[in-house]
Chains A and B, each alone.
Chain A
C-alpha cells in the first residue's frame, strides 16, 4: 500500500513513532472533577461565546439554545393548515411510528410482541427503512453483565459522565434493562463478539469503570439494525418509505392524533390518523452546530424535535452538544466521519504533532474533545491541505498491545475506510479532530416514554433528553434506543387499548404561526428542514420552482 499522507505529515509520523515505546508505559493521569470542569469551560465548544441565543417562542421560550436549534424553533411551518384537507384520512392506525431507525424498529417489534395487530402499526420514514444514526454507531453497547460489574456501577458511570444532570429515574431503567436487551438480541440472532465458550468480548469506554462495551466488530449498530430490519420484514410490518412527517395532528380533546405526511418524491401530502404517535426521529448532527463537520446520517435534522415542540413538548439540555473527540480530519473526502472510541478502548492514544501525549485517552467525551481542541489551539496539531486541524490517534498501538491482526479483525470497517485512501492504520496513525456527534438533550419523556404534558405522544432514542444529561458516554446510545424503543412499543400499545381519536385539527400550527408573527420572526425561516442543503451556491441562488 502507498502511504496516503503528504510529506509534512509523514515527517510528523516519524516523531510519533519515536515516542511510541515510552508511551506504552507512561499514560497521562485521569483528570479530577475540578480539572474536567475547568477544561470544559475554557475549551469545549458549548462554552464558546456568541454561539447560542434565547428562544423567543413556544414552551421553551426564555431558554438558551445553540443558534442552529433556535433557528428551527423560531421557524414557520412548512404547511399552511388551510391547504390541508383533514376530512380525507389516507392512513388510519393505532400506532404511527415516525422514524425507522433503531428506536422506531424496536418499538414496532415490541408493540407486536405486546399484542397489537400488525396492520394497526405504520412506520413512516423520510428515507429508507433503517436509515439512521443507529446504523452508524460502531463501538458498542454497554450492558453490565460481567461478574465484577453491576447495573449500579453502570448507573454511577452514566450520571458521572453526564455531570449529574441526567434524569435519575430514566437512567435506572437504562442500566437495569441493558443485559435483557443483549439477551433479546441473542434470541433474534445478533452476532455479538464472543469467544468459543460464549464469553462476551467487552471493552472499556471513556468514563466507564468496567469493561462493559459489547460489540459486533466495529459494525455494532449496523449489525443490530439489519437484524431488526430483517425481522420487521419477516413480520410484514407496514413501512412507508420516502415519506416525512411534517406536522403532528391534534384531535378536539387535545391529544396528538397522527401526522401530516409529505411524500419526498411525489411531493404531495397524506393524512395519517393514529391513536398514539411515536416519535423516533433521531438527532440533529446535520444542523452542523458551530460549523462542525458531523458523523451523522444525512437525515439527522431534528424534525421530531420541531414537530413535538409545536404541540407543547418541552425540550431540555439542548445547550449541550456532543462532539466526538475523534472524527476523521484527513483525508478531506471523509472529514468528520467517526473513528470509534473503541480504538482508544483497545489502546490507541491521542498524540500531538511532536509525538507527545497530552490527555488520558478515555476521559468522558466532552472532556476528551476539549483536550484535543486545546492542543490544536496551542499550535500542537497539524493543519491539513484543506485547512482542517487535527492531532494523531496512534492506532498502531492497538496491534502492539493486543497482537498483530487485531485492527483488521476488530476494526474492519475503520481499516477499510482508511485503506480506500491508501492509509494503513496498522502502521501509521490517523489524523483526528472533534466532530459533531450526538444530541445529548431533547424531548422530555417519563420512564414510560410518554412525552410529558402531551397526551397521545410518545418518544424515544436520540430525539429525547434526560437519559444522558449533558454528556453521553460511549455505548449508551444504542442502549438508549433499545431500552426506550422497547418501552415505547410496550407502553404505547397499552395506551391505545383504551384510547380514542376525536376530530382532527391543525389549530396548534395556526397558533404557532401567530406567535412567530407577534415575535417578529422573519418569514424566510421554515422548519422542519427534512434534509440539509449542500448544493453549490450557484444552484441555490438561482433555483426556481417552475414545475410547481
Chain B
C-alpha cells in the first residue's frame, strides 16, 4: 500500500511560469519532458557529468534562489523551473609548452580574479558543492596546486560565472590551474615513460604478433595461455 501511494504521488511545478502536475519521482529534466518539452539546449549527459543542465529554481513564496543540476534534482511541490541555454564566458588562449607554472601566471591570464570581493556567492551557486571562492582566492595567491585540487570536481556548468559580481569566470581559472599542476608541478609518471621507451624499442612486438597468429590459427592454444596467465590483482 505504501509503495502504491509513492508511485502515484504527484507534485505541482511551474515550468517557465506555466503550471504542470508531474510525478514526484522525476528529476527536473524528466519533469520537463513529462510535461511535453523536448530538450536541445540545457541538456547533456543526463548523468551529472557535463554541466549542461545546471539551472536555478525558486519555491513559491520564498525569496531564495536555489541551484542544481536538473538531471540530479528531484522535483518538489511548488518549484519554479527554467533552463539555462548557454553561459557566455571569456577563456584565455595559451600555449601549454610556453607557460611557466610561476605564482603570477593565473593573474596574468585572468587579471580580473583580483577583483574578487570574497562574497562567496560562487560557492553558494556551485551544484558540485565546491569551495569556489577558496580556489579563486588561492589563484590570487598563486597557489596553483590548491586551485587544481579544490576545483577538481568542477563540471564547468558556469553557474559560478553567472553569479559572480566581480565578473570572474572561476571555472576557466580552475581549468588552466589543473593543467599546469598536472604538466609541471606533479611528479612525472615514471613507470609510464620507461614502458613507452620499451614499446618504442619493439620489446613486446614478437609476443604480440605471436598472439595475433594464434588468434587466427590456433585459438584453443591462446585460450589455454589466457586461462593459465597469473592473476595478480590483490
Contacts and interface: CB of A to CB of B under 8 A. Distances in A.
Interface stretch (B117-125, B131-139, B185-193): B185-193
Contacts of B30: 333, 534
A186 B199 contact: no
A227 to B, nearest CB: 6
A150 B188 CA distance: 20
A176 B208 contact: yes
B6 A385 contact: yes
A284 interface: no
Contacts of A197: 187, 190
Contact of B52 (A131, A187, A236): A131
A151 B219 contact: no
B39 A298 contact: yes
Contacts of B50: 130-131, 135-136, 222, 297
Contact of B148 (A155, A160, A169, A191): A191
B204 A416 contact: no
Contacts of A169: 212
Contacts of A145: 189, 191-192, 195-196
Contacts of B74: 331, 333, 421
Interface in A492-548: 531, 533-536, 538-539
Nearest to B197: A179
A58 interface: no
Interface string B160-199: 0000000000000001101111110011111111011001
Given A172-B208, A297-B45, A234 B183 contact: no
B142 interface: no
Size range of the interface on B? 35 or more
A493 to B, nearest CB: 21
Interface in A156-173: 156, 159-160, 164, 166, 168-169, 172
Nearest to B91: A233
A2 interface: no
B179 A413 contact: no
Given A172-B208, A298-B45, A333 B26 contact: yes
30 contacts: A33-B223, A127-B40, A127-B43, A135-B49, A135-B50, A136-B49, A145-B192, A152-B208, A152-B211, A155-B208, A156-B222, A164-B219, A164-B223, A172-B212, A175-B208, A176-B205, A179-B199, A183-B192, A186-B188, A189-B180, A189-B181, A197-B190, A198-B190, A211-B232, A221-B49, A227-B179, A297-B50, A298-B46, A362-B233, A533-B38
Given A152-B204, A231-B96, A536-B33, 5 more contacts: A156-B225, A186-B182, A198-B188, A412-B153, A531-B38
Interface of A: 6, 30, 33, 127-128, 130-131, 133, 135-136, 143-148, 150-153, 155-156, 159-160, 164, 166, 168-169, 172, 175-177, 179-180, 182-183, 186-192, 194, 196-200, 204, 208-211, 216-217, 219, 221-223, 226-227, 230-231, 233-234, 236, 242, 264-265, 295, 297-298, 331-334, 337-338, 362, 385-387, 412-413, 416-417, 420-421, 531, 533-536, 538-539
Interface of B: 2-3, 6-7, 25-27, 30, 33-41, 43-50, 52, 72-74, 91, 93-96, 128-129, 148, 152-153, 155-156, 175-176, 178-183, 186-193, 195-196, 199, 204-205, 207-209, 211-212, 215-216, 219, 222-223, 225-227, 229-233
